[in-house]
Amino acid sequence: MTTAEQHKSNGIGKDLAIYVCLLILAGMQFVIAYQKIDASQMFTRMLAVACVEAGLAALFFMHLWTEKRGFLLFVAIFTISVLLMMQYGWTDSFRMVSGAPFSK
Amino acid sequence: MSQADLTMEGHSTGLTVGPAFSIPTKKLAMWLFIIADTMTFAACLVAYGFLRNGTPNWPRPFPGITNVALMTFVLLTSSLTMLFGLRSARAGDKAAAFRWTMITAALGIAFALLHVREWLELIDQGMTLFKNPWGTGLFGASFFSITGLHLTHVTSGVIALIVVGVRYKGGRYNADDIEVLGLYWHFVDLVWMFVVPLVYLLNLAH
ipTM of the complex: 0.85
A12, A29, A79 member nearest B201 (Cβ): A29
What CATH number corresponds to the domain at position B91? 1.20.120.80
pLDDT digits 0-9 by tens, B85-108: 999 999 999 999 999 999 999 999
**Is the confidence at residue A104, as pLDDT, over 50?**
no
What is the phi/psi pair of residue B182, to 5°?
A: -60, -40
Q: Do B54 and A67 touch (CB under 8 A)?
A: no
Residue B131 is predicted with a pLDDT of 86
The Cα angle at residue B48 between residues B118 and B78, in degrees rounded to 5:
45
Residues A34 and A82 in one domain: no
pLDDT digits 0-9 by tens, B190-201: 999 999 999 999
Number of domains in chain A: 2
Residues A81 and A50 in one domain: no
The C-alpha torsion from B85 through B88 and B93 to B96, rounded to 10°, is -40
Of B190, B191, B195, B204, which to mutate for an interface test with A (greatest number of A Cβ within 10 Å)? Answer: B190
CB < 8 Å to B182, chain A:
62
- Residue A90: pLDDT band (50, 70, 90) is low
Asked if residue B104 belongs to a domain, the reply is yes
User: What share of chain A in percent tops pLDDT 90?
Assistant: 43
What is the phi/psi pair of residue B79, to 5°?
A: -65, -40
CB < 8 Å to B21, chain A:
67-68, 70-71, 74
Residues A7 and A47 in one domain: yes
Asked if residue B7 belongs to a domain, the reply is no
CB B112 within 8 A of CB B154: yes
Q: What is the mean pLDDT of residues B28-47?
A: 92
B43, B77, B197 member nearest A46 (Cβ): B197
Asked if residue A102 belongs to a domain, the reply is no
Number of domains in chain B: 1
Give me chain B's average pLDDT, please.
89
Residue B14 is predicted with a pLDDT of 52
Residue B138 is predicted with a pLDDT of 87
Asked if residue A49 belongs to a domain, the reply is yes
Residues A49 and A92 in one domain: no
Residues A17 and A30 in one domain: yes
CA distance A9 to A16: 11
CB A38 within 8 A of CB B53: no
pLDDT digits 0-9 by tens, A29-53: 999 999 988 888 998 999 999 999 9
3-state secondary structure of B129: coil
The boundaries of the domain holding residue B36 are 26-55+62-203
Residue B62 is predicted with a pLDDT of 83
* Bridge partners, residue B132, by sequence: B135
pLDDT digits 0-9 by tens, B152-174: 999 999 999 999 999 999 999 99
**Is the confidence at residue B125, as pLDDT, over 60?**
yes
Residues A1 and A41 in one domain: yes
Task: State the maximum Cα–Cα separation within chain A, in Å, rounded to a whole number.
Answer: 69
For the purposes of burial, counting CB atoms within 10 Å of the CB of B130, is it exposed (0-12), middle (13-18) or buried (19 or more)?
A: exposed
Asked if residue B4 belongs to a domain, the reply is no
Give me chain A's average pLDDT, please.
82
DSSP string of chain A, one letter each residue: --HHHHHHHHHHHHHHHHHHHHHHHHHHHHHHHTSS--HHHHHHHHHHHHHHHHHHIIIIIS-GGGS-HHHHHHHHHHHHHHHHHHGGGHHHHHHHHT--GGG-
- Measured distance between the N- and C-terminal CA atoms of chain B, rounded to whole angstroms: 77
User: What share of chain A in percent tops pLDDT 70?
Assistant: 75
Residue B6 is predicted with a pLDDT of 47
The boundaries of the domain holding residue A80 are 67-97
What is the phi/psi pair of residue A85, to 5°?
A: -65, -35
Residues A37 and A84 in one domain: no
What is the phi/psi pair of residue B131, to 5°?
A: -150, 160
